[in-house]
Amino acid sequence: MEKKKPAPKSVRKPAAPKIAASGAEEKSAVRKKTVTTASASVKKAPAAKSVSRKKAEDSKPLSPVPEAPSTPSVSYSQPQPQYPSPAPEAQPSYWQDRYGDNRIVLMIRDPYWCFVYWDLSAEKQTEAIRELQQAGARLMLRVYDVTDLEFDGSNAHRTMDIEVTEEATNWYINVWAADRAYCVDLGLLYPDGRFVTLARSNVVTTPRDSVSGVIDEEWMVVDETFDRLYQAAGASELGRASEAITKFMLKRVRADVSSGGLASMGSEGGRPRQRRPEDFWLVVNTELIVYGATEPDAAVTIQGQPIRLNPDGTFSVRYALPDGKQTIPVKAVNAAGSQERQITPVVEKRTE
Amino acid sequence: MADHGYLMMVLHAHLPFVRHPEYDDFLEEDWLYEAITETYIPLIGMCERLAEDGVPFRLTISLTPTLLSMLADPLLQERYLSHIHRLIELAEKETERTRWQPEFNGTAHMYLNRFRHARWLFADKYHRNLITAFRKFQDLGYLEIITCGATHGYLPLMLNRVAQRAQIAVGVQTHERFLGVKPRGIWLAECGFEPGVDELLRQNGIRFFYIDSHAVFFGSPRPKYGIYAPIYTRGGVAAFGRDVESSKQVWSSKEGYPGDYQYREFYRDIGFDLEYEYIKPYIHGQGFRIPTGIKYYRITGPTDQKEPYHPQAARDKTAEHAGNFMFNRQKQAEFLHGLMGKKPVIVSPYDAELYGHWWYEGPEFLEFLFRKLHYDQNDLRSVTAPEYLAENPTLQVVTPTTSSWGYKGYHEQWLAGPNDWVYRHLHKAVERMVELADSFHHPSYLQRRALNQAGRELLLAQSSDWAFIMKTGTMVEYAVKRTRDHLERFNRLYWDLKNHRVEVDWLSDIEYKDNVFPDLDYKLYAHRA
């Protein structure tokens, strides 16, 4: 039976190209800036990872029906060495890196960041490459603020352009504000200022990040009560109303009270904490094995405790051996109870 | 003493569907076995004792559809039994081996007793099916068991109501199959909510769910009572907000109870500490060291020099912490009652596996808490959501904000560099599933099987656990493999169905491996009004 091997140290990357996540550290800095200036800055995709893949492979829409399946692609075989599949089920590969749809999809990450991924049809891909190479066009994401709008392509409250590399297939976008609706075009920007849309995304609304200004008529909230309720939720330093509450809540959700989730189940979590390399260390323990043999039907005790014999009359017991002197009487009585033998090893352990 | 408020303790019990009949020994299946021994059985034991003593406790627990499916699976039940037998054998050896070490010997006997009790409760008392136990305490009125999305899919990132609806509908269906009643409440995976999900909940007969505190605080219009009274969403479903203060007391790795120096140290396990040849039969079949569950040290302090664990000292501390927790909730409720002019409800949700697996003494803490609530005070009453709603039928209507209880409160844990690549494929699979459901009106027997299996593979690929693991960085390969395997199986089913060439042997093989949700109907994915 095949078994799983221990996970190797290097973690294999999934086949899909990855755009760098914006790290938590960088992000908060960027966020502060954009919130006050209302201009959006963009996390640059690390070209390296995307570029390392062959472009043709990336963009070529797979044959929709894998009639004559080719040998499994590199991407498919990646997880295999760790979890060899006993069944031939996995041949051939039905994995597709890209689908050749002409599509761009916008997702929310939090009140200030969105994520967008796209996939161009073969036709659009060819068009884009031609225009990029021959007409001096640039590949752009155009972000629209379409809050409360019937968006027609030209009536956005605001727009911003983000130039993306030809190889990129996704991007993180630092948007203007929470609780606003956004839409993104992938398109070509020409030197004369023309913008030609290749694909338009869905519309998403970023979550609120502050206390609502809307106070229901029927459920009028007395401000003082309201503030004190939030204080009761743990915000003792609150001086003023919603602004401070908002700040407190945001701090709270970023603090260490989120779900441990599955991480708490991970068996690998049971490994001792890592030591720093300079903390050289040594542990020495001793154990004592007391073993022997007698008639298989005899009754044997060690230090008065009965022990179990193997079918051939042998026995073996193991003890952690602390410092000190141990007197270990081993006594055997035959099945009839008519004869007994006793041997008493004495062991002394010292640590110097 | 007066009646000042309600306390709602909520445990979210979940594990992703991990079942590999194709391997003899599969590391990730241990998640289930460890959780059974350390969390589920101790919780059941607690219910037994409280019920026997007539303590009218109320505990809300979500048993996710994947967890229910695994608990009811004969192969996994069989494997758990051999797992616990091995543990008992090891504990027996340990009681001998530590005979000259009184500081460990008592703890070794504690493990032996607990493992034997676990085996007895699992095999003899409940005939290998722990769902029977949960169901019993549900029927007695102590447990309010709620459901979850079919595979713990993270709803806000699906961008598709049909996909969200299927998660919820299959969750409800599975719950009813195992527990005999429709769930009244749901735990949304990771508290992941976006406006509109509540409408789907209502359509599936769900009356209440849980969200994180900022989802309520930032809701609109401004919620009059904050998180201390539930709200009705526009969809007419009650939403209970998580209490910040009580969460922190248990969750926080710095200030929380589980970090107390008397409590058992999670990281010192004999699987790593003992001599290799001795421990080898009890670690992974391939011979690499893994935790066994036998741990002899207490947290001790910020040091590597750990002191021996003393079960009785830990137990005393547990009682003290339960008293402290209750005292703080009493004060909180009294204060809030005065402020609100009505009784607050304090909602304290936790991952169930925190209790017992991480925080070894956690189940004892809960038991002490419920006993103290019953015997020692009258300020607070433990309550379930349906009981609360029966007594407080009128709620403010508020739309909570999109949110989660994960890192930073929104979607970042599940949408970041290490895992963002999955959504392109998950969204495509949903689109294809809808296409299949819309195009096969009268499938053949074999086609129907393939269509239903496609639904299962899609659901399994959607488990939020995979993205979560990719982000946390341990066991990443497994999470990547699971995502790809299910998507590949799905895609093959898709193409085979489109080309009218479903291969029965292969289909039977994946039906056997991914045998979850046997009653799933692919038509769930059909477009309809």
Enumerate the residues of chain A whose CB falls inside 8 A of the CB of residue B483.
14
Q: Could you tell me how far CA B209 lies from the centroid of its own chain?
A: 15
Strand partners for A292: A315
Confidence grade of residue B250 (pLDDT, cut at 50, 70, 90) = confident
Q: What is the pLDDT of residue A216?
A: 62
Confidence grade of residue A225 (pLDDT, cut at 50, 70, 90) = low
Q: What is the pLDDT of residue A86?
A: 43
Q: What is the pLDDT of residue B105?
A: 97
Strand partners for B496: none
Using one digit for the tens of pLDDT, what is the confidence trace for A256-283? 445 554 444 443 333 445 556 667 888 8
pLDDT at position A60 over 70: no
Enumerate the residues of chain A whose CB falls inside 8 A of the CB of residue B224.
219-221, 225-226
Q: What is the pLDDT of residue B415?
A: 97
The DSSP code for A157 is: S
* Residue A100 DSSP SS3: coil
**Kind and range of the H or E element at B419?**
none
Using one digit for the tens of pLDDT, what is the confidence trace for B504-520? 999 999 999 999 999 99
pLDDT at position A50 over 90: no
Q: What is the pLDDT of residue A29?
A: 35
Token readout for B164 is 């969200």
Token readout for A123 is 């036709």
**Contact: B405, A16; criterion CB under 8 Å:** no
Average pLDDT taken over every residue of chain A: 71
Phi, psi at A313, each rounded to 5°:
90, 0
Average pLDDT taken over every residue of chain B: 95
Token readout for B287 is 């011979």
Q: How many beta carbons lie within 10 A of that of residue B316, not counting itself? A: 12
Q: Residue A83 contacts by C-beta under 8 Å, 6 or more apart in sequence? A: A4, B477, B478, B481
**Kind and range of the H or E element at A316?**
strand A314-320
Q: Is-contact A273 B237, C-beta < 8 A?
A: no
Enumerate the residues of chain A whose CB falls inside 8 A of the CB of residue B96.
305, 307, 317-319
**Minimal C-alpha gap between A182 and chain B (Å):** 14
Q: Is-contact B421 B428, C-beta < 8 A?
A: no
pLDDT at position A35 over 80: no
Could you tell me which residue, A221 or A36, shows the higher pLDDT? A221
* Residue B348 DSSP SS3: strand
Q: What is the pLDDT of residue A252?
A: 57
Confidence grade of residue B247 (pLDDT, cut at 50, 70, 90) = confident
Tell me how long chain A is.
352
Q: Is-contact B41 B126, C-beta < 8 A?
A: no
Specify the amino acid at residue B399: T
**Is B334 marked active-site?**
no
**Contact: A287, B476; criterion CB under 8 Å:** no
pLDDT at position A242 over 80: no
**Minimal C-alpha gap between B370 and chain A (Å):** 23
pLDDT at position B449 over 80: yes
Confidence (pTM): 0.86
Tell me how long chain B is.
529
**Minimal C-alpha gap between A265 and chain B (Å):** 6
Percentage of chain B beyond pLDDT 90 is 89
**Contact: B510, A89; criterion CB under 8 Å:** yes
User: Which of B355, B410, B472 is the best residue to mutate to test the A interface, defined by the most A CB atoms within 10 Å of its own CB?
Assistant: B410
Enumerate the residues of chain B whose CB falls inside 8 A of the CB of residue A220.
224
**Is B351 marked active-site?**
yes
Enumerate the residues of chain A whose CB falls inside 8 A of the CB of residue B212.
253
Say which of B23, B411, B474 has its CB closest to residue A266: B474
Enumerate the residues of chain A whose CB falls inside 8 A of the CB of residue B499.
65
**Contact: B358, A260; criterion CB under 8 Å:** yes
Say which of A17, A24, A207 has its CB closest to residue B401: A207
Token readout for B517 is 């949700």
CA dist., res. B182 & res. B169, Å (int): 11
Enumerate the residues of chain B whose CB falls inside 8 A of the CB of residue A322.
100-101
**Contact: A21, B417; criterion CB under 8 Å:** yes
Q: How many beta carbons lie within 10 A of that of residue B228, not counting itself? A: 28
Using one digit for the tens of pLDDT, what is the confidence trace for B252-270? 766 789 999 999 999 999 9
The DSSP code for A234 is: T
**Minimal C-alpha gap between B132 and chain A (Å):** 24
Percentage of chain A beyond pLDDT 90 is 51
Q: Is the dihedral of CA A249, A254, A257, A263 positive or negative?
A: positive
Least confident of A174-188, A240-254, B12-26: A240-254
Enumerate the residues of chain B whose CB falls inside 8 A of the CB of residue A257.
244, 247-248, 251-252
Q: Is-contact B416 B471, C-beta < 8 A?
A: yes
Q: Which of B246, B241, B245, B237 is nearest to B386 (CA)?
A: B237
**Closest CA in chain A for residue B26:** A4
Q: How many beta carbons lie within 10 A of that of residue A191, not counting itself? A: 9
Average pLDDT over residues A64-87: 35
Q: Is-contact B418 B473, C-beta < 8 A?
A: yes
Q: Residue B477 contacts by C-beta under 8 Å, 6 or more apart in sequence? A: A7, A11, A12, A79, A82, A83
**Contact: A208, B218; criterion CB under 8 Å:** yes
User: Which of A238, A250, A265 is the best residue to mutate to test the B interface, defined by the most B CB atoms within 10 Å of its own CB?
Assistant: A265
**Minimal C-alpha gap between B323 and chain A (Å):** 20
Q: What is the pLDDT of residue A23?
A: 35
CA dist., res. A92 & res. A75, Å (int): 12
ipTM of the complex: 0.93
Enumerate the residues of chain B whose CB falls inside 8 A of the CB of residue A287.
97, 275, 278
Enumerate the residues of chain A whose CB falls inside 8 A of the CB of residue B214.
249-250, 252-253
Q: What residue ranges in B248-298 does DSSP mark as E strands?
A: none
Q: Residue A244 contacts by C-beta under 8 Å, 6 or more apart in sequence? A: A235, A237, A238
pLDDT at position A18 over 50: no
**Closest CA in chain A for residue B268:** A272
**Contact: B406, A261; criterion CB under 8 Å:** yes
Q: Which of A180, A173, A137 is nearest to A156 (CA)?
A: A180
**Closest CA in chain B for residue A20:** B417
Q: Which of A68, A197, A216, A65 is nearest to A127 (CA)?
A: A197
Q: Is-contact A196 A187, C-beta < 8 A?
A: yes
Q: What is the pLDDT of residue A267?
A: 39
Q: Is-contact B244 A234, C-beta < 8 A?
A: yes
**Contact: A111, B424; criterion CB under 8 Å:** no
Least confident of A159-163, A195-199, B168-172, B389-393: B389-393
Q: Which of B319, B201, B410 is nearest to A209 (CA)?
A: B410
**Contact: B421, A14; criterion CB under 8 Å:** yes
Q: What is the pLDDT of residue A87?
A: 45
**Contact: A265, B35; criterion CB under 8 Å:** yes
Percentage of chain B beyond pLDDT 70 is 99
B28, B92, B265, B351: which one is catalytic? Answer: B351
Q: Which of B5, B3, B10 is nearest to B241 (CA)?
A: B10
The DSSP code for B282 is: G
**Cis amide linkage into residue B223, ω under 30° from 0:** no
Average pLDDT over residues B138-165: 97
Helix, strand and coil content of chain B, in percent to the nearest 5, comes to 55, 10, 35
CA dist., res. B215 & res. B298, Å (int): 37
**Minimal C-alpha gap between B220 and chain A (Å):** 5
User: Which of B26, B212, B421 is the best residue to mutate to test the A interface, defined by the most A CB atoms within 10 Å of its own CB?
Assistant: B421
Q: What is the pLDDT of residue A251?
A: 63
Phi, psi at A116, each rounded to 5°:
-135, 135
For residues B167-203, one letter each, b for 16 or more C-beta atoms within 10 angstroms of the residue's C-beta and e for the rest, the string is: bbbbbbbbbeebbeeebbbbbbbbbbbbbbbbbbbee
CA dist., res. B364 & res. B313, Å (int): 13
Average pLDDT over residues B34-48: 98
Say which of B225, B405, B509 has its CB closest to residue A229: B225
Could you tell me which residue, B528 or B459, shows the higher pLDDT? B459
Phi, psi at B284, each rounded to 5°:
-70, 145
Concatenate the DSSP letters of all residues of A39-82 into one string.
---BPPP-HHHHHTS-HHHHHSPPPSS-SS--SPPHHHHTTTTT
Say which of A205, A245, A259 has its CB closest to residue B217: A245
User: Which of A204, A259, A276 is the best residue to mutate to test the B interface, defined by the most B CB atoms within 10 Å of its own CB?
Assistant: A259
Q: Is-contact A152 A10, C-beta < 8 A?
A: no
Q: How many beta carbons lie within 10 A of that of residue B30, not counting itself? A: 21
**Pairs of residues, one from chain A and one from chain B, whose beta carbons lie less than 8 Å apart:** 330
Q: Could you tell me how far CA A46 lies from the centroid of its own chain?
A: 19
Say which of A65, A270, A273 has its CB closest to residue B290: A270
Enumerate the residues of chain A whose CB falls inside 8 A of the CB of residue B492.
94
Burial class (CB in 10 A: 0-12, 13-18, 19+), B294: buried
**Contact: A256, B96; criterion CB under 8 Å:** no
**Contact: B468, A261; criterion CB under 8 Å:** yes
**Contact: B480, A95; criterion CB under 8 Å:** no
Concatenate the DSSP letters of all residues of A184-206 into one string.
EEEEEE-TTS-EEEEEEPPPEEP
Angle at CA of residue A133, ends A132 and A139, nearest 5°: 15
In the numeric block, the tokens 């699987």 are attached to B271
B29, B34, B94, B190: which one is catalytic? Answer: B190
**Contact: A95, B488; criterion CB under 8 Å:** yes
Specify the amino acid at residue B21: P
